[in-house]
Amino acid sequence: MEVSAKVIAEHLGGEIVGNPDVTVSSVARIESGKPGTLCFLANPKYEHYLYTCKASIILINKSFEPKEAVSATLVRVDNAYEAVASLLDLLNTMKASRRRGRAWSAHVAFSARLGKGVYVGQHSYIGRRASVGRNTQIYPMVYVGEGVTIGDNCIIYPGVKIYRGCRIGNNCIIQANAVIGSDGFGFAPTADGSYKKIPQTGIVTIEDDCEIGANTVIDRSTMGTTLIRKGVKLDNLIQVAHNVEIGANTVIAAQTGIAGSTKIGESCMFGGQVGIAGHLHIADRTRLAAQSGVQADIKEENKAYIGSPAFEHMEYMRAYALFRRSGRKK
């Protein structure tokens, strides 16, 4: 699928410098651009590639002025980094072909409800009283348990397991092999030193516009619901324990673990391998550096933390400087 500079500029609200009719069919990094590809320049450290790049079209910021001649057609936009994300979405939409109907080997219970335009792939299972919204794509080998609700325009990739009663909103993407609604890790010690399993009777609720990464696990609540608010983006290999609540538009990188009953605020950003203890409250817009370990409430909004145990970023840097200085040989 080819798209012209004119179409790209119209889609992005950009200005063309060069040939508006030149076309591209894929996107490449600016250091490896070739004819027929589109690249973008957002970071000044890559500017030198702009003058040697062979790409047909390059997105640049309106505020940027090249110091040398550029052979490619330029499309000037307000923010090249944001624009390329929008453009990738456009190209993906143009290439994508939504399937409809159900594969012969899929099992759909008689009491399940499928909306218009739903696709159910081979060997997928839709349980009793489950409901799947319009235009949702359920790829092969997906398990949708009894009473599950999935909204409109969702994509459920192969191998996903959604346990009984869980609720998925509209426009959600769940990547391969994620597990939604497995039992929370709840065991009560007994007098003889063994552990008695605590029944996990709740569900998981994922609101609209969320994305759940591959092999991520979100446990059902003991009672009530484990809650993933609107717009949350979870990376691969994340563990979300029972009764956790993650606030709207929070993004969390891979291998993070969140213990039970912790409440995370809105618009937070967590790096990879963050660990958060149970029953904590994390304020809105909190930023946690990779491998941070949080063991106490974070009450002040819009602060950055680092370390294990985690503490405020500037305080950490001062402490680290003292640590480095004390370790030097005299």
Q: Which residues have a catalytic role annotated?
A: 242
CA separation for the pair 145, 179 (Å, rounded): 12
In the block, residue with structure tokens 């409109």: 152
3-state secondary structure of 328: coil
Packed helices 80-95 and 5-12: angle between N→C axes, nearest 10 degrees: 120
Closest listed residue to residue 182, CA positions, set 203, 198, 168: 203
Which residues fall within 8 angstroms of residue 108, CB to CB, at 6 or more apart? 102, 114, 120, 126
Q: If you write DSSP's letter for every residue of 23-82 in order, what string do you get?
A: EESEE--GGG--TTEEEEE-SGGGHHHHTT---SEEEEETT---SS---SEEEEES-HHH
CA separation for the pair 74, 5 (Å, rounded): 8
